[in-house]
Amino acid sequence: MAPVVSGFSKLSKEDKIKWLAEHHFNNDKKATETLITYWNSNDKLQKLHDEFTENTISNYYLPFSVAPNFLINNHRYTLPMTIEESSVVAAASKAAKFWQTRGGFKAEVLSTTKVGQVHFTYTGDLKKLHHFFEEIKPNLIKNVSPITKNMEKRGGGIKNIELIDKTSEIENYYQLHCTFETVDAMGANFINSCLEQFAKTLVSEAQDYADFSTDESRIEIIMSILSNYVPECLVRASVSCSVKDLPNTEDLSATQYAQKFVRAVHIAEIEPYRAVTHNKGIMNGIDAVVLATGNDFRAIEAGAHAYAAKDGRYKSLTHAEIRDDQFIFSIEIPLALGTVGGLTSLHPLVKLALQLLEKPNAKKLMEITAVAGLAQNFAAINSLITTGIQQGHMKMHLMNILNQFEATTSEKEQLIEYFKTNTVTHSEVVTQIEKLRA
C-alpha cells in the first residue's frame, strides 16, 4: 500500500514519477521510461498538455483518424475521429461511401436550448414563494448582466427562468429551472456562473422580502449546476433511398434486406439488452468526432442515454421504416457541442480537426456529429444482418493481436495474406504465429 503523500501536486513532473516508481512500480526503470517516452519533444507543446489538467505525468495517445466521403446536406466532408477501436473508422467510411451515391445524409438542428438549475429548500407558504419569485425575476436577470453581456452580443443569453415545485418528491425542495442559448460555445462555465449568481440573488432578496416571516426568508441553496440532459438541444439526421437501391446479395434480396434491417432496429426499440449495445455503437461514431473536436464526450454520453430513456424505457436512438417503397433510416439525439472556448482554441489537433471540417459553427458540428452516429449504426446493422459482426471486426483487430505477440514485419505480411481467405480468431492467429516461428 502506498503511503499518504502531502503536497503531491506541487512536486515537479519528474519528482511525481519518482514517487510513483518507488511506491507503485517497484522502481521499475521500464515504467519510468515508458512515461517519459510519451512526453512531447516540443517543450512548449508539452507544457500546454501539462496544464490541461492536474498531476500530469505523461500523455496518453489515441489515434487521430479521418473518415472521408461524407456527403451531408449536399456538402462533402472528411470527418476527424479520435478512437482506439479498430473497426469504427473503417465502418464509418464504408457507410459514407455507400450513401454518397444515394443522396447522402440530411441533417437539421431542431433546437439549441441548454439547461441549468438552482436547487434549494423553502419551508414557508407556497403562494408567497410564487409572488416573491415573480417580483425578483427581473433582478435575477439584471444581476447577471456582467456575465451575459458578451454572450448576448453573440446572440445568446438567458431564455427563461421558472420556479419548479418538487415538494411532492422531496420535502421542501424547489428549483429555479433556467434555459440558455450559448450559440457556438458549449457554455458550461457561462451557465454555471449565471446559476451561482441567481442563487446569491435569491438568498439576498429573500432576506429583505417584506412578506416573508423569519423562517420563510431562510431559503437554503443546495447547489447550482448545469444539466447535461438537454432534450431541447436536439439534432436530427437521416438517409433514405428506394428499397431497390439497397444491397442485393445471394442470401437477401434488396426487399428482404430492408425488412430485416427495419426489424433489427425495431428490436432495439423494444429490447433494452439490445438497445444498450445498439446505442453504444452509435456513440462509437459520435464520441470519436466529439473527442477529435475537443468537446466533452462524457456529457454527450450522459445526455444521449438519458434521452434514450425519456419515455420511461431505454430504447434505440435510431429509427428505420419502409414507406412507399422508400427505405428511411434516421436518428434524433441531443448534442450540446461547442466550437469556441475550452480545448477548441488550445489543443493543436482540435484546431486541425475543426479546420478539416471547414471551421463549423456549433449547429453545423451538431449535424456532422449526428451523421457520424447514424453512419456507424448503419454499418453495424448492415454487418449484423449479413455477414455477422465478427468477420469485419476481427480482420480489423488482426493487427492488434499481431502487435501483442510482437510479430515482425515479415510475420505480419505472411499472416495478413493468410487471413485474407481464413477466419480471424485469436486462437487461430496464435496457431499460425507458432507455426511460423517453429
pTM greater than 0.85 (yes/no): yes
Residue 397: predicted pLDDT:
66
SS (H, E, C) the chain: CCCCCCCHHHCCHHHHHHHHHHHCCCCCHHHHHHHHHCCCCCHHHHHHHHCCCCCCCCCCCCCEEEEEEEEECCEEEEEEEECCCCCHHHHHHHHHHHHHCCCCEEEEEEEECEEEEEEEECCCCHHHHHHHHHHHHHHHHHCCHHHHHHHHHCCCEEEEEEEEECCCCCCCEEEEEEEEECCCECCHHHHHHHHHHHHHHHHHHHHCCCCCCCCCCCCEEEEEEEECCCCCEEEEEEEEEEHHHCCCCCCCCHHHHHHHHHHHHHHHHHCHHHHHHHHHHHHHHHHHHHHHCCCCHHHHHHHHHHHHCCCCCCCCCEEEEEECCEEEEEEEEECCCCCECHHHHCCHHHHHHHHHCCCCCHHHHHHHHHHHHHHHHHHHHHHHCCCCHHHHHHHHHHHHHHHHCCCCHHHHHHHHHHCCCCCCCHHHHHHHHHHHHC
Catalytic residue among 137, 280, 395, 412: 280
Q: Tell me the one-letter amino acid at 425.
A: T
Catalytic residue among 49, 119, 393, 397: 393
CA separation for the pair 310, 231 (Å, rounded): 9
Residue 176: predicted pLDDT:
98
> 167 CB contacts (<8 Å, ≥6 apart)?
126, 173, 174
Domains, the chain, ranges and CATH? Answer: 8-50 (no CATH), 64-111+234-386 (3.90.770.10), 114-227 (3.30.70.420), 393-437 (no CATH)
Catalytic residue among 13, 18, 50, 85: 85
Catalytic annotation present for 411: no
Catalytic residue among 16, 296, 315, 347: 296
Residue 413: predicted pLDDT:
80
Catalytic annotation present for 296: yes
Catalytic annotation present for 23: no
Give me the tens of pLDDT residue by residue for the chain, a chain 438 residues long.
Answer: 788 999 999 999 999 999 999 999 999 999 999 999 999 999 999 999 988 899 999 999 999 999 999 999 999 999 999 999 878 999 999 999 999 999 999 999 999 999 999 999 999 999 999 999 999 999 999 999 999 999 999 999 999 999 999 999 999 999 999 999 999 999 999 999 999 999 999 999 999 998 998 777 789 999 999 999 999 999 999 999 999 999 988 889 999 999 999 999 999 999 999 999 999 999 999 999 999 999 999 999 999 999 999 999 999 999 999 999 999 999 999 999 999 988 888 899 999 999 999 999 999 999 999 999 999 999 999 999 998 665 555 656 677 788 888 888 888 888 878 877 777 777 878 887 888 788
> 319 CB contacts (<8 Å, ≥6 apart)?
265, 269, 329, 330, 331, 332
SS (H, E, C) 252-305: CCHHHHHHHHHHHHHHHHHCHHHHHHHHHHHHHHHHHHHHHCCCCHHHHHHHHH
CB atoms within 10 A of CB 107: 22
Catalytic annotation present for 393: yes
CA separation for the pair 342, 358 (Å, rounded): 19
